[in-house]
Amino acid sequence: MKLWLTLILLAFALSSCFVSSSLLFTEADIKDSKNLLVNPGFALYSLAPDEALKGWSIIVEPHSADFDKIRIDPLDASEGESSLEISASDKDIMLISEPFKVRRYGGYYSRIMLKTDSPNPPQITMQMITFKENGKITNRFKAKQSPTDLWSSLAVSAGFLRPGVNFGRVSILIPPFTEGSVWIDDAGCWEVHGFKID
């Protein structure tokens, strides 16, 4: 009897792992889907520093009022006419998108493009975070990657959201690094799937 119970529990555990790991969306899934992010290409919207990066908030820790290591680069882009360049610093830098609506039974694909000229690049973390209407976090989905000297994607698939979910944000964390720059471009979050409801 114990052997059968063990086998049943093992089969359940393995099938649970399979279901969660099967949630993997790709670039092909975003066709005909609307990008939910504002200013995904980091375009310059204003010459005023506090309004230049429409659609994104920047948090620098430890805080520095005269921090000057982030700029819009009009000469290098993965897509479009500009990208965001972050020069080496001893600060943690977090970019946070404006909120966008999500559905509990939606499936989402989030992606950014990265590159660097640093000989010792930092490991970039991207998250899709979902929230209840009151701001309480319901889910976090994340991926990490160190960029190379060629544009490459860092992507996250998200789904099976918890009850009460209302909106989402994409966050990008760049930890301290000592040389060169990191470029980020072509950010996006797309609803690519609708899960069937029993």
pLDDT band for 7, please (50, 70, 90 cuts). Answer: very low
| CA 33/CA 44 separation, integer angstroms | 24
Residue at 179 is within a domain: yes
The pair phi, psi for residue 174, each rounded to 5°, is -115, 110
Q: Tens digits of per-residue pLDDT, 93-143?
A: 999 999 999 999 999 999 999 999 999 999 999 999 999 999 999 999 999
Domain at 143, CATH number: 2.60.120.260
Number of domains in the chain: 1
* Domain assignment present for 57: yes
The SS3 call for residue 52 is: coil
Q: Rounded to whole angstroms, what are the CA distances from 88 to 62, 180, 187?
A: 15, 6, 21
pLDDT tens per residue, range 176-198:
999 999 999 999 999 988 776 63
Does a structural domain hold residue 7? no
Q: Domain of residue 149: give its range.
A: 26-194
Question: Does the residue 5 lie in any domain?
Answer: no
Burial grade of 174 (CB within 10 A; 0-12, 13-18, 19 or more): buried
User: Between 38 and 16, whose confidence is greater?
Assistant: 38
Residue pLDDT, tens place only, 48-73: 666 778 999 999 999 888 889 999 99
Of 9 and 60, which is predicted with more confidence?
60
Q: 43 lies in a domain?
A: yes
Nearest to 26 by CA among 114, 145, 109, 113: 109
For residue 17, being part of any structural domain is answered with: no
